Structure 1
Amino acid sequence: MIRCIIVEDQPPAQRVLQKFIGDMENMELKATFADALKAMEFLKSQAIDLIFLDIHLPKISGIDFLKTISDAPHVILTTAFSDYALESYDLNVVDYLLKPFSFERFVKATNKVPVDSSGKNIKESAIGAKSSPEMLFIKSGYEHLKIQVSDIHYIQSESDYTEIFTADKKYLTSHSLRHWLQTLDERQFVQIHKSFIVNTGNITKVSGNRIYFGSDTHVPIGRMYKEEFVEKYLK
């Protein structure tokens, strides 16, 4: 399944993309943004495979936004102007959709997103096939501190940083929540809130909208994540 977002400030264009994505069995729309800066915040905590990105956006252009993203997902640019086609290909985008575009042209563009033989996005397949490393080295000042991955209870996003919590310590890192989603085994480390990833191996109980580690430490389950968490881990 190709997880995607739309970054487009015009409602009619948003609706067209939402309809076309909804008609594709192998695509899942995670969010729509009219503002690239809000999309940037979303990408810090969410693993996404494909962005449909308008070039002409308020505050920051789609091209400038794309240049700021490290380890960017696949991108399909959309615009009513053909002037940016050459620059867009210099940025390694999947394709360039000139508005207004047909469903046939949309399908042709999305078919260029690399997938493996099972139909999964290649980035998604690589993450799914990867086991977590047994240990991590976290930079702290001039030192690198070793953490056993199995000791991690949860990871919390704090603005541009994340904190890793074990039973008795916490470690501040400069990585985003999205980095940890891509690094750690998704079968064990699960996002249960926009600001939290938990290690399911260290959960002691789930009560209401809280996940507990030991008797006192707990983290919230976000409303948009609860159904999937319950379906996968509590049934």
Structure 2
Amino acid sequence: MISYIIIDDEPIAHRIIEGYCEHLPQLKKAGNCFNAFEAMQLLNEQQIDLLFLDINMPRLSGLSFIKTLSNPPEIIITTAYKDHALEGYELNVCDYLLKPFSFERFMKAINKVSINIASLSKNGTSTPDDISLKRIFLKGNKRHHQIDIDHILFIEACGNYSKVVLLNESIVCHEKISTLEHMLPSKKFLRVHKSFLVALDHIDIIEGNRILIKQHKIPVGQTYKAAINHLIKH
């Protein structure tokens, strides 16, 4: 789970973000703060993974608040002012959303957060709760599909898109295979070809230069053989 707090002096902004987050089971609200000082207190009391942060707030602005944090969590700025975007990115915020923002744009920001947290976990610097990604949202066929990662058999690259093959269906999504590789946990997925990423738990047979997953035959690329050999030895 990714724990989040909303920091904004406008109640309607809280309601909009909460409404979006309710569709994402990997997100868990830890609190609502209406100024930076309330947020400081909450951050001192709890482990928080993500801040939704407004810029224009009384007494202490969002950007000034970021500068006070020695070890900030992931931050998504939510603001009506585009003039501060460059400064926000210089402070290493994950994304910068201009109000009013759509659910689609919101989802792109959350996927960035998921990738960053997964990357931290791979590097051994995860939060004490050791966040594990269970579900992701992927856009395909003009809809957002919630995917249980345990249902993914393999992923095939299709140019700037990817074909995600699940237990009972396939979805062509708007993400590159490299993006999905970084988003998904490395302990569960392995790149076996420049165009294929497979779920380790669903491998049935490894036979020469191919992998069999149910009725699917997946090639093993020459540069990926070492990873396969390591897998077999273990």
* Contact 2:117 2:126 (C-alpha < 8 Å) held by counterparts: no
Give CA deviations for 1:98-140 in whole Å, capped at 9, x if unaligned: 00000110000110014489899778845246xxxxxxxxxxx
Give CA deviations for 1:203-225 in whole Å, capped at 9, x if unaligned: xxxxxxxxxxxxxxxxxxxxxxx
* Corresponding position of 1:127: 128
Deviation for aligned residue 1:80: 0.3
Question: In structure 2, what is the Cα distance between the partners aligned to 1:99 and 1:128?
Answer: 32
Give CA deviations for 1:29-66 in whole Å, capped at 9, x if unaligned: 11011111011011012100000000001110000001
What is the one-letter code of the residue matched to 1:7? I
* Corresponding position of 2:16: 16
* Corresponding position of 1:96: 96
Counterparts of residues 111-122 of structure 1 (less than 5 Å): 111-115=111-115
Question: In structure 2, what is the Cα distance between the partners aligned to 1:121 and 1:19?
Answer: 28
| Structure 2 SS opposite 1:64 | helix
TM-score (norm 1): 0.51
* Corresponding position of 1:83: 83
* Contact 1:2 1:120 (C-alpha < 8 Å) held by counterparts: no
Deviation for aligned residue 1:11: 1.1
> Please, which runs of 5 or more residues in structure 2 have no aligned partner?
131-234
What is the one-letter code of the residue matched to 1:127? P
Question: In structure 1, what is the Cα distance between the partners aligned to 2:75 and 2:116?
Answer: 18
- Judging changes above 3 Å, is the alpha-carbon distance between structure 1 residues 67 and 120 closer, same or farther for their aligned structure 2 residues? closer
Question: In structure 1, what is the Cα distance between the partners aligned to 2:52 and 2:97?
Answer: 9
Counterparts of residues 26-65 of structure 1 (less than 5 Å): 26-65=26-65
Question: In structure 2, what is the Cα distance between the partners aligned to 1:43 and 1:117?
Answer: 18
* Corresponding position of 2:159: none
* Corresponding position of 2:67: 67
TM-score (norm 2): 0.51
| Structure 2 SS opposite 1:92 | coil
Question: In structure 2, what is the Cα distance between the partners aligned to 1:115 and 1:11?
Answer: 29
* Corresponding position of 1:189: none
- Judging changes above 3 Å, is the alpha-carbon distance between structure 1 residues 90 and 9 closer, same or farther for their aligned structure 2 residues? same
* Corresponding position of 1:231: none
* Corresponding position of 1:223: none
- Judging changes above 3 Å, is the alpha-carbon distance between structure 1 residues 124 and 11 closer, same or farther for their aligned structure 2 residues? farther
- Judging changes above 3 Å, is the alpha-carbon distance between structure 1 residues 7 and 23 closer, same or farther for their aligned structure 2 residues? same
| Structure 2 SS opposite 1:110 | helix
* Contact 1:63 1:88 (C-alpha < 8 Å) held by counterparts: yes
What is the aligned-residue RMSD (CA, Å)? 2.5
- Judging changes above 3 Å, is the alpha-carbon distance between structure 1 residues 120 and 92 closer, same or farther for their aligned structure 2 residues? closer
Counterparts of residues 144-223 of structure 1 (less than 5 Å): none
Question: In structure 2, what is the Cα distance between the partners aligned to 1:17 and 1:97?
Answer: 11
* Corresponding position of 2:181: none
Total equivalences in the alignment: 129
Deviation for aligned residue 1:72: 0.5
- Judging changes above 3 Å, is the alpha-carbon distance between structure 1 residues 19 and 90 closer, same or farther for their aligned structure 2 residues? same
Structure number with higher relative contact order (C-alpha < 8 Å, ≥ 6 residues apart): 1
* Contact 1:113 1:121 (C-alpha < 8 Å) held by counterparts: no
| Percent identical residues | 45
